[in-house]
Amino acid sequence: MNVKLDGQVWTGDILSWAVSGGTRQINATEPSTSIQIFMPEDTTGTFNPLDNMITVSYYDGTTTWSNNIWGEVTISANSDYHVEGEFNVILASYFNSDTLTFTGGSFYFKDE
């Protein structure tokens, strides 16, 4: 997964994913932070995170940002073996008034 986080490049490996109750969750981590994306299982298209179909979450080791306040997530592949898409979102913390801007995000995983 690659994204600019408040203008700084963030790159993490998708190390796990899970499917439960019709929702697919992918988890990307780099040494001290992580990004999770929750999406409807086996669904593709472009989504506004405000509609609660897609959730993007970021954890920096102490705070979680997962209150989607703006953005767009496009899912081009979504199966048990291949997940791919792009995202641009602004997230807010549930614990304070801080926001984070994610631009030019992309995620890709293919189990060969």
Judge contact between 26 and 106, C-beta under 8 A.
no
For residue 21, give its domain range: 2-110
Q: If you ran DSSP here, which 8-state letter would residue 1 be given?
A: -
What pLDDT is recorded for position 67?
A: 86
pLDDT digits 0-9 by tens, 27-51? 999 989 999 999 999 999 999 988 8
Beta bridge partners of 12: none
- Cα–Cα distance measured from residue 44 to residue 47, given in angstroms and rounded to the nearest whole number: 9
pLDDT band at 76 (very low <50, low <70, confident <90, very high): very high
- What pTM value is reported for the model? 0.92
pLDDT digits (tens, 9 = 90+) for 82-112: 999 999 999 999 888 899 999 999 999 988 7
DSSP letter assigned to residue 50: G
In this structure, are residues 24 and 41 in contact, taking their beta carbons and an 8 Å threshold? yes
Report CA-CA distances (Å) from 82 to 79, 91, 98, 107: 5, 26, 33, 10
Q: What confidence score (pLDDT) does residue 112 get?
A: 72
Q: What is the number of structural domains in the chain?
A: 1
What number is the average pLDDT over the span 67-74? Answer: 92
